[in-house]
Amino acid sequence: MLTLMIITVLFALAFDFTNGFHDTANAIATSVSTKALPPRLAVIYAAVANFAGAYTFTGVAKTIGGSIADPLQIHHGVIVVLAAVIAAISWNLMTWAKGIPSSSSHALIGALTGAVISSAGWHAINVKGFTTILQGLIISPFAAFAIGFILMIIFKYLFANTAPRKVNHWFRRMQWISAGLQAFWHGTNDAQKSMGIIAFALVAAGIQPKLDIPLWVKLLCALAMALGTLSGGWRIIRTVGTKIIKLEPLTGFTADLSSIATNFTATMLKLPVSTTHIISSSIMGVGSAHRFRAVKWGVAGQIVFSWIITIPISACIAAIIFQVFKLFL
């Protein structure tokens, strides 16, 4: 059991690493594409901010660890977690290879749900908890789109008579702040998911009685995400930063501000959300308010389609992996 637990923790940290180069890329995509920050500096900056955010909060981790299923009621709980993280990593790598900004959060939540069902049946799912998580995942992109749209309308009115060069200069400086806050709040939410799933495994294995997050789990998850961020994620940055709309400092900062507000609210409510969905929706909202036809709706549609299929596909992959593992139990 100890060996199995160590392997599971290592795979959970590997997921956090892929989350770092997959999702954190979204947090700095706007500032890189507008040339507010040099790419290498942006990545280092985001890694540090992500580490700080990941270490600061644990509310989302407890939601992930206890809302989908009760780890004490799941047979082979550690195997369930191992199957879930392997499935989520697989989906992350597949979408990263294609440069598709799909959601690591959706992948992990879908994978854990599929593995639980494969292990203990549909009745093992906490319907109320899963529904609450699903509501947060669904509502947050719409909220980010609306906030981005409204903020862009306000900024267009406020700076209508200001020279574009001056506006771009000022907002490019403001993006230094917004990029850091983006990465920080990403860390407060996304890194918590791996912490929560490790805590789930620790309780299922009988190593600890409650879904508390040990200090070593917080540190390792924060470090794994920071290292993942340092590895880059340039394919995702190109998609988010250039293929939805052509970002300028004003639109980039506005999208950042919308994302920060949405992520902050979700973290305070202890709801796991997708940074990928939030920043992409923010950019769409800003683009719609700035110049509707400038949004590349074909690319936006492909991104939304990837969001829809992530949970069911991840669930199926995890369910299959669990059944394979079960053959050796």
What does the pLDDT look like over 33-76, one tens digit per residue? 777 777 778 778 888 888 888 888 778 888 887 788 888 888 88
On the question of pLDDT at 238 being above 60, the answer is: no
| Helices assigned H by DSSP within 34-126 | 39-56, 59-67, 77-97, 104-120
With cut-offs at 50, 70 and 90, classify the pLDDT of residue 241: very low
**Which range marks the domain in which residue 302 is found?**
2-326
For residues 86-98, give the mean pLDDT. Answer: 85
Structure tokens at 197: 């799933």
Tell me the one-letter amino acid at 245. I
Structure tokens at 325: 């593992």
Distance CA 29, CA 232 (A): 11
Digit-coded pLDDT (tens) for 108-129: 899 999 999 999 899 999 988 8
- Per-residue model confidence (pLDDT) at position 294: 66
3-state secondary structure of 206: coil
3-state secondary structure of 222: helix
CA angle 89, 33, 291 (to 5 degrees): 110
Mean predicted lDDT score pLDDT of the chain: 84
